[in-house]
Structure 1
Amino acid sequence: MGARLSWRRLSRIVPLIVVGAVLATTAGLGAGALVHPHDLAGSARYSLLAGFLLAVGLYGSTHAIELGALRRDVRGVLVAVTLGVVLKATLIAGVMLLAFHEARYLVLGIAVAQIDPLSVAAMRAGSRMSERAKALLFAWASFDDPVTVLLALYFSILAFRLSGRDGSPRAGPSGSGLSAYLVDLGWNVVLVAGALLVFLALRALRRRVGSDGEGGGRGVDLLSLVALAAIFLVAADSMLMLAVAVTGLFFRVGAYAGLIDRAVSVAFLIASFALGLLLVDGVDPLPALVLGCAAFGAQALISLLVVPVLKHGLSRRDRVHLALGQQNGITAIILALALEPDFRGTVGIVAPAILVVNVLHYASNGILNRFADRPPDPGEEALISPWPDVEKAADDAVAIADRD
């Protein structure tokens, strides 16, 4: 979900999406118990659907990133995607590999490493974090979401090889060795170049016909939406998710921008239903418990390194809330679906691990709020922000909502 939407609106919408996802998962379980789908994850249509859902969610994350924040604080972005994602994923995967000695946990650990932006938006209304700390956590979540997806897909080929299997994973690059990554990178560059050319052509056409919303401008926006859907399909067929992530930074659909957020919500519901279908085969509780605890613990540890670099002087309460900020949602679910054909049993581990992470999050934050009922000192929030555009958008949205 984009930072351009008001926090208050997100706080109202997201709980409904979460409830809908729970109902969709339950419906999927019921449908799976009735029809007993045979090797659902092994079909080509399943892989295409999982790839398309992943593309929608990934585009939804990157198109919400404030480009001003990228330009003004390159150091902060690099810290968020290295310490905040790469090191955290390494810690989680390391714990799982030490505990279970299976190569597939290399990518399963990455799958739950990101912080879900939707969940961060949902918690805003009830959280006692300062507005600046909430904006920092949301920015962190927005940047680490696409990086997690790319890491999981590219490391899937390594996990595939370490498992002693021949061939290539469906979710990763085709081939073997460095050449597989180079070829995959080449196709991603080609798709990005094609998307950029289409976007520039549509923008020129929009300027020619006008953008009054009543004339041809709206028709051009509709063409942009169709072109974006075509890009998603091409990317889903070959898992060219790097291209989708980059495309999200520049490709806009004008008057239909609101449909992107709705599409992410629908993708969440579809993914939840598919999750229920696969959960009929059962869950693996012990690895799920360890994975969930490792993800939550890794966030607490990494925040000790990330927060001092990104922002000095946060109140102690804010620092603790950031340490307890790990939440998982749509990205982890769709990644689990995408990895299932290559690493069977992924859904049965990642799905309950997501539950463990979120239970730990809400329980720990609830305890913290109970023992920290003093409002934060205003002086503690008067800080220089490394995410000025994100926080200004959040503050402006709050002010507008309050006036309404």
Structure 2
Amino acid sequence: MGARVSWRRLSRIVPLIVVGALLATAAGLGAGALVHPGDLAGSAWYSFLAGFLLAIGLYGSTHEIDLGALRRDARGVLVAVTLGVVIKAVLIAGVMLLVFHDARYLVLGIAVAQIDPLSVAAMRANSRMSARAKALLFAWASFDDPVTVLLSLYFSILAFRLSGRDGSPKAGPSEDGLGAYLTDLGLNLALAAAAFGVFVALRGLRKPVAPAPGPAVARPSARRGAEAGGRFADLLSLAVLPVVFLVAAQWMLMLAVAVIGLFLRVGAYAKVVDRAVATAFLVASFALGLLLVDGVDLLPAVVLGVAAFGAQALISLLVVPVLEHGLSGRDRVHLALGQQNGITAIILALALEPDFRGTVGIVAPAILVVNVLHYASNGVLNRYAGDPPHPPADEPGPPGTGAFRPGALSGAAPASGPPDPRPSPETDACASAPGADPET
């Protein structure tokens, strides 16, 4: 009984998906020590597998973005994307370049600039932030994954050139120069256009059927038919996704995957995508362990982790309040301690390893540094804060659930009126997110 209580308590502090990733990494490290896999990053299939995992994780991020919330609060989203990703990446990369004078740290700094959306979703119930601050953090975590991935891939060729190397990186465009970027852009647009054609073809199945004249008893049958058509369209959309991921992995067309996630949704099968993302996280963690057999580089890792955590704190405490007025001091501190790394940082490290050897040995311990700083600092803050967590009913839903309230980022007051006694048709993705505690 005591062990069960301790496990539940642990799951409320550290998301179970993070615990699973740690176990998978340890398993990979043990397997690597036993079989000595050799030069995995140089094998023919390695870059393809890394690209496939990256495509799954990237789609998992963009398909959760609530387009309605984006339209309602474009300013808050702009703050999250520019300050939360671009400026933070510049700060981290700048620190690494200043300390180590190595061009590869330009890309490594970008690779850890994002906030892990799986961890943010799993910590929702126990967070002591206000609803508005949670909305900002959820938007931050939703939009920074695709931006970070694209910045890492497209800046990899710059880091490649600054390192004085010939050829082109496997993770970026095939060659440098405007022509190579235009070719890469054309391939991305072609894949996105093909997926959009599928979306248009399936849209007719999702359209609600107008009630036909006749007895009312026949209308439920018509509604069931429309729902069946919608589920069939969702199933076909789900079947298209592996093809998209395979094509994207072959040519590293991650811009297309990010765009496709905004319109090609799987509706009733969204949980399948969530499970695929969680599985990709565990597979990537196992592969990370295999590569860690070659050792780690602790000094750059510690500097990278501290720089990532510090950049988040600097932006949250000094810059975000200037553009997002009305945040309390407690909220600013919680945002400052909100940096977490997970699936995207791990898969980016795997994808960059063939071009920048030693990336995994730096990024992997840096991820550990960031997450230890996050859980330790938040544990201390929550211990001495004293206030109970906000009730989940008052919290904004995570990105993609439709529960993101209009004006949550801008501080608009909620609409007045009596509560609707009917249950919401929306589902809480955080409750079903990998690692979320069902009791919270």
Normalising by the residue count of structure 1, what TM-score does the alignment of the two structures yield?
0.88
Contact 1:310/1:386 (8 A) holds in 2: no
**CA distance, structure 2, for counterparts of residue 178 and residue 110 of structure 1:** 22
Kindly state the Cα deviation for residue 371 of structure 1 after the two structures are TM-superposed: 2.4
Quick one: which of 293, 303, 326 aligns to 1:313? 326
Q: Does 1:341 align with 2:325?
A: no
Question: In the alignment, what sits opposite 1:385?
Answer: 408
**CA distance, structure 1, for counterparts of residue 340 and residue 390 of structure 2:** 27
**CA distance, structure 1, for counterparts of residue 202 and residue 196 of structure 2:** 10
Q: Does 1:355 align with 2:368?
A: yes
Question: In the alignment, what sits opposite 1:235?
Answer: 248
SS at match of 1:44: coil
How many residues align structurally? 387
Q: Does 1:366 align with 2:379?
A: yes
Alignment map for 1:74-223 (pairs within 5 Å): 74-205=74-205, 212=225, 218-223=231-236
Quick one: which of 279, 287, 291 aligns to 2:300? 287
Cα shift readout 1:16-36 (whole Å, capped 9, x = no counterpart): 322221111111111111111
Cα shift readout 1:264-313 (whole Å, capped 9, x = no counterpart): 00000100110010001110000000000000000011113542255321
**CA distance, structure 2, for counterparts of residue 223 and residue 384 of structure 1:** 34
Q: Which amino acid aligns with 1:79?
A: V
**CA distance, structure 2, for counterparts of residue 61 and residue 374 of structure 1:** 32
RMSD: 3.1
Q: Does 1:263 align with 2:276?
A: yes
**CA distance, structure 2, for counterparts of residue 46 and residue 265 of structure 1:** 20
Higher mean C-alpha displacement, 197-206 vs 268-277 = 197-206
Kindly state the Cα deviation for residue 246 of structure 1 after the two structures are TM-superposed: 0.6
Contact 1:84/1:306 (8 A) holds in 2: no
**CA distance, structure 2, for counterparts of residue 32 and residue 213 of structure 1:** 52
Change (3 A) 1:384 1:306: farther
Cα shift readout 1:221-270 (whole Å, capped 9, x = no counterpart): 33221211101111111111011001000001233221011110000010
Contact 2:337/2:378 (8 A) holds in 1: yes
Quick one: which of 236, 244, 248 aligns to 2:257? 244
Q: Which amino acid aligns with 2:46?
A: Y
Higher mean C-alpha displacement, 109-118 vs 362-371 = 362-371
Contact 2:114/2:144 (8 A) holds in 1: yes
Kindly state the Cα deviation for residue 38 of structure 1 after the two structures are TM-superposed: 1.7
Higher mean C-alpha displacement, 172-181 vs 242-251 = 172-181
Quick one: which of 292, 297, 320 aligns to 2:310? 297
Q: Which amino acid aligns with 2:83?
A: L
Q: Which amino acid aligns with 1:137?
A: L
**CA distance, structure 2, for counterparts of residue 149 and residue 337 of structure 1:** 12
Question: In the alignment, what sits opposite 1:6?
Answer: none
Change (3 A) 1:139 1:14: farther
**CA distance, structure 2, for counterparts of residue 96 and residue 74 of structure 1:** 32
Cα shift readout 1:50-92 (whole Å, capped 9, x = no counterpart): 1011011001101101101211222222221112111110110
Q: Which amino acid aligns with 2:185?
A: L
Question: In the alignment, what sits opposite 1:54?
Answer: 54
Contact 1:139/1:387 (8 A) holds in 2: no
**CA distance, structure 2, for counterparts of residue 233 and residue 340 of structure 1:** 20
- Unpaired runs of 5+ residues, structure 2, are 1-10, 210-221, 397-405, 416-423, 433-437
Higher mean C-alpha displacement, 138-147 vs 201-210 = 201-210
Contact 1:210/1:217 (8 A) holds in 2: no
Contact 2:89/2:109 (8 A) holds in 1: yes
Change (3 A) 1:261 1:396: closer
Q: Which amino acid aligns with 1:271?
A: A
Q: Which amino acid aligns with 1:295?
A: A
Kindly state the Cα deviation for residue 117 of structure 1 after the two structures are TM-superposed: 1.0
Question: In the alignment, what sits opposite 1:5?
Answer: none
Higher mean C-alpha displacement, 246-255 vs 332-341 = 246-255
Change (3 A) 1:206 1:135: closer
Normalising by the residue count of structure 2, what TM-score does the alignment of the two structures yield?
0.81
Identical amino acids, percent of aligned pairs: 78
Question: In the alignment, what sits opposite 1:226?
Answer: 239
Q: Which amino acid aligns with 2:326?
A: G
Contact 1:154/1:173 (8 A) holds in 2: yes
Higher mean C-alpha displacement, 21-30 vs 149-158 = 21-30
Kindly state the Cα deviation for residue 216 of structure 1 after the two structures are TM-superposed: 5.9
Contact 1:69/1:388 (8 A) holds in 2: no
Kindly state the Cα deviation for residue 213 of structure 1 after the two structures are TM-superposed: 8.5
Q: Which amino acid aligns with 1:371?
A: Y
SS at match of 1:280: helix
Query: Comparing both structures, which one devotes a greater share of its residues to helix?
Result: 1
Question: In the alignment, what sits opposite 2:32?
Answer: 32
Q: Which amino acid aligns with 1:298?
A: A
Q: Which amino acid aligns with 1:161?
A: R
Question: In the alignment, what sits opposite 2:343?
Answer: 330
Q: Which amino acid aligns with 2:49?
A: L
Contact 1:62/1:249 (8 A) holds in 2: yes
Kindly state the Cα deviation for residue 15 of structure 1 after the two structures are TM-superposed: 2.4
Change (3 A) 1:115 1:215: closer
Question: In the alignment, what sits opposite 2:418?
Answer: none
Kindly state the Cα deviation for residue 214 of structure 1 after the two structures are TM-superposed: 8.4
Q: Does 1:18 align with 2:18?
A: yes
